Amino acid sequence: MQAFLKGATVQSTRSQKDKGATGPSTEKKAKVVPWVEKYRPKCVDEVAFQEDVVAVLKKSLEGADLPNLLFYGPPGTGKTSTILAAARELYGPQLFRQRVLELNASDERGIQVIREKVKNFAQLTVAGTRTDGKPCPPFKIIILDEADSMTAPAQAALRRTMEKESRTTRFCLICNYVSRIIEPLTSRCSKFRFKPLANRIQEERLLEICEKENLKYTKESIEALVRVSEGDLRKAITYLQSAARLNNDKDVTECAVIEIAGIVPPKMINKLLQICFKGTFEKLEDAVRNLVDEGYAATQILSQLHESIIDGDINDKQKSVITEKMAVVDKCLSDGADEYLQMLSLCSVIMQQAFQNT
Ligand SMILES: Nc1ncnc2c1ncn2[C@@H]1O[C@H](COP(=O)(O)OP(=O)(O)OP(=O)(O)O)[C@@H](O)[C@H]1O
Ligand SMILES: [Mg+2]
C-alpha cells in the first residue's frame, strides 16, 4: 500500500499558484508573497460568503461522504481556495500531496492526459487512515481547475472514469462558465454557484488586511476598492496592495485606487457624452482621440459609458439601440479591433440617437 501511495506522489502535479506561494516562503522572504496568496483561506471556515458550499464541505469533513463537485462562478470568488482548504483539512499537510491531484489550465489536459494521468491516479486505492493515525476519507480527490478550457473529447473521456472509479476517487471540477462543461459531466456532479462577494464582506476582508499590514486608509478608498472590483475579492486585494505600494508611507487613498484601477475620471466621460449630445463630429473625433491617447483602455471607457447611458435620460428605444451597438463594439474589441475606430463608431451611434427626437 505504501508503495502505491509513494507512486502517486510522483504523479501529483502541483499548480503554478502553489509554486508561487511556497517558493518565496522557503527562502524565508515572507514579504515577497502577494497578499492574495498570503490571505488565501487556510481552512473552510475562513471562506467568506459562500455558505452553501461551505456547509456541504463541512458535513463531509465531519465524516459524511463527499459527492463529485462542480464549482462555477466569476473569478476571485474563492473556488480554488475552497477546495484546496477542504482537501488540506481532510488529509492534513502530509497526505495532501499523495491524495490530491490538481490539474489546471497550465497543465496539458488533452484526452491523452485524461486517459493516462487521471485514470492511473484514480485507479490507485487508498487507506482510510492518515500516517498520524487519524481517520481520513478512503478516497482521493482530483481537482480539475479551469475545466472550461478542457476540450470536449477530454471531457467526454472523463465520463466513464468518473463513474468507474467512484469507489476510490472524487472529482472536483472548477470553471467560470458552466455552459462550457458538457451535460453528462454536470449531471454527475453536485453543482455549486460561487456568488460575487457582497460589498459588506469585501469591506470586512479589506479592513482586516489593512489592519494586519498596518496600512493607513480612508473610508472612501475602501469604498472605491469595493466598487471597482465588482465582487472579485482577488482584484480588490491586488489593487489594495498596489495602492499601498504606490505611496511609500503605506497610505491608501481613493486617488491611488482610481489611478491603479485605470478608471476614466467621470468628468471626462461626462464631457464626451455632452459632445455626443450637443457638439459636432469634429469635436467628437478630438475627444475620442484624446481619451485613447491618454491610454485609457477602450473596454473601460465602454463599461463606464454603458453605466452613464443606462442611467441617462434618453428614451428606451435610444438606449436599446446604443446598448446593442455596445455589445458589437465589445465583441470587436475582444477580437482585437482598433480601439480608436471602435470608440468613434460607438460615439457616432450615440450622437445619431441623441439627434433623433423620437
Ligand atoms: N470567498 C472568499 N473568502 C475569502 N477569500 C477569498 C474569497 N474569494 C476570494 N478570496 C481571495 O481571493 C483570492 C483568489 O481566490 P481563488 O483563487 O479561490 O479564486 P477563484 O474563484 O478560484 O478564481 P478563478 O476563477 O479566477 O480561478 C484568494 O487568495 C483569497 O485571498
Ligand atoms: Mg481558481
Residue where the block lists cell 447611458: 309
- Per-residue pLDDT at 355: 87
- Per-residue pLDDT at 210: 92
Could you give the CA distance from residue 262 to residue 259 in angstroms, rounded to a whole number?
Answer: 5
**pLDDT (tens digit per residue) in 270-295:** 999 999 999 899 999 999 999 999 99
Q: How far is the CA of 147 from the centre of ligand 2 (A)?
A: 10
> Residue 16: which pLDDT band, with cuts at 50, 70 and 90?
very low
Q: How far is the CA of 197 from the centre of ligand 1 (A)?
A: 10
Check: CB of residue 358 under 8 Å from CB of residue 321: no
pLDDT at 60 exceeding the cut of 60: yes
Q: How far is the CA of 72 from the centre of ligand 1 (A)?
A: 12
**pLDDT (tens digit per residue) in 171-189:** 999 999 999 999 999 999 9
Looking at all shown ligands, the one closest to residue 51's CA atom is 1
- Per-residue pLDDT at 195: 92
pLDDT at 167 exceeding the cut of 90: no
Could you give the CA distance from residue 126 to residue 137 in angstroms, rounded to a whole number?
Answer: 9
Residue % of the chain over a pLDDT of 90: 51
Q: How far is the CA of 28 from the centre of ligand 2 (A)?
A: 26
Q: How far is the CA of 177 from the centre of ligand 2 (A)?
A: 12
Tell me the whole-structure pTM to 2 decimals: 0.80
* Cα angle 314, 268, 222; round to 5: 100
Range from 249-258, 264-273, 306-315 carrying the lowest mean pLDDT: 249-258
Q: How far is the CA of 81 from the centre of ligand 1 (A)?
A: 6
DSSP string over 28-53: T-GGGS-HHHHTS-SSGGG--S-HHH
72 lines ligand 1 (CB under 6 A): no
Q: Which atom of ligand 1 is nearest to the CA of 71?
A: 21
- Per-residue pLDDT at 29: 47
Which mutation among 33, 35, 37, 40 tests ligand 1's pocket best, with the greatest number of atoms within 8 A of CB?
A: 40
149 lines ligand 1 (CB under 6 A): no
> Residue 357: which pLDDT band, with cuts at 50, 70 and 90?
low
Enumerate the β-bridge partners of residue 140: 169
Which mutation among 16, 52, 81 tests ligand 1's pocket best, with the greatest number of atoms within 8 A of CB?
A: 81
Q: How far is the CA of 3 from the centre of ligand 1 (A)?
A: 35
> Residue 249: which pLDDT band, with cuts at 50, 70 and 90?
low
75 lines ligand 1 (CB under 6 A): yes
Average confidence (pLDDT) over 14-28: 42
Average confidence (pLDDT) over 61-73: 86
Residue % of the chain over a pLDDT of 70: 88
pLDDT at 63 exceeding the cut of 90: no
Q: Which atom of ligand 1 is nearest to the CA of 82?
A: 18
Could you give the CA distance from residue 65 to residue 94 in angstroms, rounded to a whole number?
Answer: 21
Q: Which atom of ligand 1 is nearest to the CA of 77?
A: 8
Question: Hey, is 138 helix, strand or coil?
Answer: coil
More confident residue, 333 or 106: 333
Looking at all shown ligands, the one closest to residue 196's CA atom is 1
Check: CB of residue 186 under 8 Å from CB of residue 83: no
Average confidence (pLDDT) over 114-124: 81
**pLDDT (tens digit per residue) in 120-144:** 888 777 776 666 667 777 888 999 9
Question: Hey, is 165 helix, strand or coil?
Answer: coil
- Per-residue pLDDT at 131: 66
Looking at all shown ligands, the one closest to residue 236's CA atom is 1
pLDDT at 337 exceeding the cut of 80: yes
Which domains, and CATH codes, for the chain?
A: 35-193 (3.40.50.300), 203-261 (1.10.8.60), 266-357 (1.20.272.10)
209 lines ligand 1 (CB under 6 A): no
Mean pLDDT taken over the chain: 85
pLDDT at 74 exceeding the cut of 80: yes
pLDDT at 10 exceeding the cut of 80: no
**pLDDT (tens digit per residue) in 199-247:** 999 999 999 999 999 888 899 999 999 999 989 999 999 999 999 888 7
